[in-house]
Every structure is written in C-alpha cells, then in structure tokens.
C-alpha cells in the first residue's frame, strides 16, 4: 500500500524508534528528579532534544517549550495571550483557513467576549496583506496566521506578516505544523514571530509531542502568557506536567534528521510532486483540476479535483493500494472549510482528494498511478 497521507501523519523514522526505546525501558527517570543516574540521564536527553529542535527552526534552545503537539500549542498561545493581555485589548486576527485547533479556540474566546477577525483568503488560500493591515486596531493583541496550509499546501507571506506585526508592536503567532522539515526556517530572519507551533508526528517523529517556540527578549525573558496547564512548574512554568522523555527524545532525533537532510528532502518532495502531477495530468487530462498553486507552496501536497467523482467513494476504492484523504484528517466528515473559503462549490469540494508525499516517497512507487 502506497501511503500518501503524510499531512495527516508520517511513519516514524527507524532511527527515531531506536533512540526512544531506552527511555521507555531502562532510562525511565523523571528529569525533574535529582542526583541519581536515571534522572540525570533523562534530563541530559531532554536538553539535547531541545537543542535539536532549536537548530531545526533557528532559535535559542531556551525558547523551546515541549507540549503534546500543535493542538495544545495553538490553544496555549491563543488562550494564553487572550487571558494575559485582555486588559490591553480583546481583538485577535486570524484567517478563515486555519486548522480547527485555531478556529475552535477562537470560537471559544468569542464566547468569552473577545473580538475575532477572520481574514478571507485568495483562490489558493493565502491572506491578502493589505487586508491584514486594514484590520489592525489599537486593541489588537495577537495575529495568528498559519505558515502553510494543510489542505492546499499554500504558503503565506510570513516574512511580510512578521515585519508588519513587529512594526506595529503586535504579537504574531504562526502555526508551522505543516512546514517544519519541508521548508527552511530560521527564526532569526523572522523577528516579528513571537510564537510558533509545530508537531513531531508530521516529520517522522512520535505522536503526542510537539514544540512551542516563545521568543525571548534581550534579557532572555520569554514573552509572558498565561499557561494552559498549571501544576508542577515544568517547562519554565509555562507547561506543567511530567515530561514525556521518550517522546521528547524521539522528537529531538526527528528534528536532527530533518535538519541534516533538509535540502535533500525538499528536492525529493519537489521531484516527486512534479512527477505525480505529470502522471495525473497524463492519465486523467481534463477530468482533473488542481486546487493548489504550483508556486509558493509546501512541497509534496497536492489537492486534486476528480470531476464528477465522489471523493469518499474514490478513497474507499483506492484504500487497498493508495492511502490518501479528502483533506484534513481532523474534520473529514464535514465539507472542508478551507476549500469552501477558496470559493469551491460543494460538488467541487466533494470531488477533491489530497495526496501528501513524504521525504521518503520514491518516484517508482508513484508509478502505481499508471495502472489505475
């Protein structure tokens, strides 16, 4: 079976699995404990993973907070900023095509009296910069715009958004879940990004672990937010809870591999995407239409309409040989809010399939499409 649902999750890398095992078995100590080996070793492993994640996204390791993944980080940033800065303002700006972990959190905050602006997007799912600027207000406390979209692969102009937020002194959060490991990220070049979310299982690490970036100032003080989880004060009192050392070690290894192989992986994703696009065009001609932009995108994500065919029926038929999805795995029963926001009709949405490749997909494997 050819697995092409890598935006939903990826297969764990064999080296990641290997480094995790000792931390599930003999090195089971709590890194917050002291003096004995199992605890000290766990602490060292956590510190090393933090450095690997920091290297992957170009920040200081003190700016990396481990969470359970992007759903938690997104909740933490939106609620954490809203609660900490509510006396300063109650306005938050986001976009219509964000992941449900942003949109549902915004919905929750609206019920608590916050005012949310949902920016529309263009045909490929990008926000319009002038609309962002026009929506900024004196009481805006946060802008949260995803780096790359999980259904269409389109990339927002994060550099410009980051500069605008920096110039206006407004905190900027970006959900980078789909881009980490697939584009080069150096947060040194994006000084306006205050917060970033990413998730290990999207780049061949384990599930249930992610990293949240929080920018520190020149005195190495992290931008304050109200924690989502209160408790023992782990992770600089921002995210309490005993650290999941085996998962953190797995995330660290996945980050290290992603950093080392980044250029190679990007090239493979681009080559395979081009190859699959050509195969599909040759095979189906005018019976298919690509929803995604071919430029300025995350390599390896294809959103394809199979005209006149129901996507659920097609996916079921393909399932024994090809695993793909209708869009986001998180909300696959509802018609996609992303495809609706780019102006697709219900029929067009119901005939769309997303193929998402991995760094390890091989061109030869894609030849299976020739025999469909």
- What does the binding site for ligand PMP look like in residue numbers (CB under 6 A)? 69-71, 99, 101, 146, 150, 175, 177-178, 199, 210, 330
Contacts of 170 (CB under 8 A, 6+ apart): 136, 140, 141, 142, 143
Is 59 a catalytic site residue? no
Which of 79, 72, 133 has its CA nearest to residue 107? 79
Q: Which residue is nearest to ligand PMP (CB)?
A: 69
Nearer CB in complex with ligand PMP: 39/146: 146
Alpha-carbon gap, residue 79 to 73, rounded angstroms: 10
Nearest to 228 by CA among 107, 71, 61: 71
User: Toward ligand PMP, which CB reaches closer, 99 or 215?
Assistant: 99
Active-site choice (59, 165, 198, 330): 330
Q: Give whichever of 41 and 49 is closer to ligand PMP, judged by the CB atom.
A: 49
Nearer Cβ to ligand PMP, position 8 or 59?
8
Place of tokens 């609706």: 340
Strands in 195-199's sheet, in edge-to-edge order, are 64-67, 210-214, 195-199, 171-175, 140-144, 91-95, 115-119
Nearer to ligand PMP, 150 or 256 (CB): 150
The tokens for 188 are 């040194």
Least distance to ligand PMP, CB of residue 360, Å: 19
DSSP-based three-state secondary structure for 15: helix
- Minimum gap (Å) between residue 330 Cβ and ligand PMP: 5
3-state DSSP helix/strand/coil percent for the chain, to nearest 5?
Answer: 40, 20, 40
Calculate the alpha carbon distances from 179 to 2, 23, 185, 197, 325 in Å.
22, 28, 9, 10, 19
| Least distance in angstroms from the C-beta of 224 to ligand PMP | 23
Closest distance between ligand PMP and the C-beta of residue 278, in Å?
Answer: 26
Q: How far is the CB of 201 from ligand PMP (least distance, A)?
A: 6
Query: Would you name the residues annotated as active-site residues?
Result: 330
């Amino acid at each position: 079976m050819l697995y092409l649902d890598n935006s939903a999750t990826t297969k764990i890398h064999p080296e990641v699995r290997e480094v995790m095992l000792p931390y599930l078995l003999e090195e089971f100590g709590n890194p917050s404990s002291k003096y004995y080996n199992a605890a000290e070793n766990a602490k060292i492993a956590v510190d090393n993973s933090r450095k690997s994640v920091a290297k992957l996204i170009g920040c200081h390791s003190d700016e990396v907070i481990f969470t359970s993944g992007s759903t938690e980080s997104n909740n933490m940033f939106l609620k954490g900023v809203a609660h900490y800065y509510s006396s300063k303002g109650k306005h938050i700006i986001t976009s219509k095509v964000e992941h449900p972990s942003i949109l549902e959190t915004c919905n929750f905050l609206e019920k608590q009296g916050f005012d949310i602006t949902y920016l529309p997007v263009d045909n490929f799912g990008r926000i319009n910069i002038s609309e962002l600027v026009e929506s900024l207000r004196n009481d805006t406390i946060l802008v949260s715009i995803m780096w790359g979209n999980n259904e269409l692969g389109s990339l927002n102009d994060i550099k410009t958004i980051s500069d605008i937020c920096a110039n206006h002194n407004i905190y900027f959060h970006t959900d980078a879940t789909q881009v980490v490991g697939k584009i080069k990220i150096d947060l040194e070049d994006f000084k306006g990004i205050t917060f970033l979310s990413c998730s290990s299982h999207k780049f061949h690490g384990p599930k249930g672990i992610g990293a949240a970036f929080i920018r520190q100032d020149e005195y190495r003080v992290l931008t304050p937010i109200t924690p989502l989880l209160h408790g023992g004060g782990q992770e600089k009192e921002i995210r309490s809870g005993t650290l999941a050392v085996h998962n953190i070690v797995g995330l660290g290894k996945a980050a290290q591999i992603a950093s080392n192989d980044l250029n190679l992986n990007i090239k493979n994703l681009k080559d395979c995407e081009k190859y699959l696009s050509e195969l599909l065009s040759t095979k189906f001609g005018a019976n298919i239409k690509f929803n995604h932009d071919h430029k300025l995108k995350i390599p390896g994500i294809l959103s394809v309409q199979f005209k006149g065919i129901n996507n659920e029926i097609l996916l079921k038929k393909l399932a024994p040989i090809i695993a793909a999805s209708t869009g986001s795995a998180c909300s696959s029963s509802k018609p996609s809010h992303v495809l609706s926001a780019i102006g697709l009709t219900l029929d067009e949405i119901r005939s769309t399939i997303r193929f998402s490749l991995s760094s390890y997909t091989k061109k030869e494997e894609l030849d299976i499409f020739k025999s469909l």
